[in-house]
Structure 1
């Protein structure tokens, strides 16, 4: 693959030696593991000839920013919709919000992205069709539509979970006592209901963000964003195995870090764990 179809046996032998492919398998694997733990690298790219760590580090900021924007957007929209549904139980607004997750859960994220491009970019011209703008404002503006696309797949499950938890808390005895004491509904919702309803939804959010990482890679390809997603698809098409291994490794590490942060956040939100080791 590196030398091309018309390479000579001497060139192939020299390349095998430079890559260490003429060494015993156990020694090749030992070198790979040492390089992984000492440099955080899975080797040199076959297609680009540079370190996979450098390639991923160059593309990672755009992907991370897209994930953060999509997560924040999904949380805000889910919070508003779930609160409206829970406070208007069995009314028209509640039924409309409950229908929304049922419809949107079956929509592929790349298809939603194409629809948003056709409507907001091609027809209305509000957002660019693809790519990343220059500067902070240009980058945020160009990533708005992709962030909406990614968040669209996360909102339904968050709304359903948070609504169910809020209804359970609203019907609890302590909320009835607070209402009888004349506490305003706004205070009850913000200080008591949301706090006690957030923990299960927060755990679900951690799982969703793990899936969101994979969905973001597909959305980057749809919107032509030069992030980790486009790098992954290019590496797959060129059979650049070190780059594919590196992306899989760093995505797995990201999932572990996110799970740890969610566990810490749930520990801080759950009052029953306060004062316990």
Structure 2
């Protein structure tokens, strides 16, 4: 199968999955207790005429299929509807908050990749006391939930030492980076431990392979063996964890943003869920699904390039 044909098939599969996900996202909220009309009334009693006017304004009385198709048509055009809580377009809310969340996720992802790969490589190559220290450290990291890490980092580095702000997102790029440093570390801690252990296992497996033994017997320098034959061959295994890493970042962002009062999309999702703001929750949920699937698509396309031993379509068919 050619690369272009494989890419086209994966994009088509992604579009079909997104369509199914949109139906689930739209329909799931209507199965939850409560309704948007009750929130809009804020607990006040209303006459049947007033209630009917609210339902007509927000199309709450339309059949489910009509509401879904109308919503889907608007989403395709970039219109996610109007927030019931903030009384403004959801697209505007997302435009104001999404850059902060993406910067936070980007910073956390950089920390995860750099530190996780470095620790995994050191643990596999050096062994001994270094390996033991990395295993102990990563066990602590994996066992620490993001919200616990957030509280600990706030208490030590924000309250006691005063090195970083304890809340907010900052104003301007440099100030934002400073405000988001502790949240990014809290978000990345668990994933650093996971990626380090995956990298270590993949490299140890590669070290025991026959082609590494042959390379060493031919007098190839150890650094070159590690770089070209061990680390590179382990990247395929490491890359397959990309989807899990991103999905974890997206989910844990809600907890971390709430803990640090960042005001990004994660905190918006938490507030919108508690207030039954259906259009906002639906938009954010669909964006999260789209981001997760986009990462999986990129991983599928990169795998054959990183590891030529993997045939096009192998991962997709096995999944």
Asked if Structure 1 and Structure 2 have the same fold, meaning a TM-score greater than 0.5 normalized by the shorter chain, the answer is yes
Question: What's the Cα RMSD here?
Answer: 2.1
Query: 2:24: which partner in 1?
Result: none
Query: 2:300: which partner in 1?
Result: 263
Distance 1:118 1:95 in 2: 28
Per the TM alignment, residue 268 of structure 1 is displaced from its structure 2 partner at its CA by: 1.4
The reply to whether residue 95 of structure 1 matches residue 97 of structure 2 is no
The reply to whether residue 12 of structure 1 matches residue 41 of structure 2 is no
1:40 and 1:229, CA in 2 relative to 1: closer, same or farther beyond 3 A?
same
Distance 1:26 1:259 in 2: 30
- Gaps in structure 2 of 5+ consecutive residues: 1-38, 315-319
Distance 1:121 1:177 in 2: 52
Deviations 1:111-140 (A, max 9, x none): 111001111111111111111122211111
Distance 1:234 1:87 in 2: 46
1:10 and 1:149, CA in 2 relative to 1: closer, same or farther beyond 3 A?
same
Distance 1:173 1:188 in 2: 12
Deviations 1:76-124 (A, max 9, x none): 11111111111123x1121121122223322211011100111111111
Query: 2:154: which partner in 1?
Result: 117
- 1:179 touches 1:185 (CA, 8 Å); kept in 2? yes
1:135 and 1:238, CA in 2 relative to 1: closer, same or farther beyond 3 A?
same
For residue 86 of structure 1, the aligned residue among 112, 117, 124 is 124
Distance 1:135 1:228 in 2: 18
1:250 and 1:182, CA in 2 relative to 1: closer, same or farther beyond 3 A?
same
- 1:113 touches 1:149 (CA, 8 Å); kept in 2? yes
Query: 1:223: which partner in 2?
Result: 260
Give the total of aligned pairs.
Answer: 275
1:176 and 1:26, CA in 2 relative to 1: closer, same or farther beyond 3 A?
closer
Per the TM alignment, residue 193 of structure 1 is displaced from its structure 2 partner at its CA by: 1.4
Deviations 1:214-258 (A, max 9, x none): 011210111111101111121122221221111111111111111
Distance 2:302 2:82 in 1: 38
Distance 1:48 1:270 in 2: 48
Q: Secondary structure at the residue paired with 2:166?
A: coil
For residue 114 of structure 2, the aligned residue among 55, 61, 76 is 76
The 10-residue stretch of structure 1 (144-153 or 100-109) with the greater mean CA deviation from structure 2:
100-109
Per the TM alignment, residue 40 of structure 1 is displaced from its structure 2 partner at its CA by: 4.5
For residue 61 of structure 1, the aligned residue among 99, 110, 113 is 99
Query: 2:78: which partner in 1?
Result: 39
For residue 235 of structure 2, the aligned residue among 180, 198, 207 is 198
Query: 2:60: which partner in 1?
Result: 21
Query: 1:2: which partner in 2?
Result: 40
Distance 2:269 2:210 in 1: 52
The 10-residue stretch of structure 1 (23-32 or 44-53) with the greater mean CA deviation from structure 2:
23-32
Distance 1:231 1:276 in 2: 38
Distance 2:122 2:65 in 1: 60
TM-score (norm 1): 0.91
The reply to whether residue 245 of structure 1 matches residue 282 of structure 2 is yes
Distance 2:236 2:281 in 1: 35
Deviations 1:156-197 (A, max 9, x none): 121111111111112223223333333332222223211101
Distance 2:313 2:98 in 1: 37
The reply to whether residue 48 of structure 1 matches residue 86 of structure 2 is yes
Query: 1:210: which partner in 2?
Result: 247
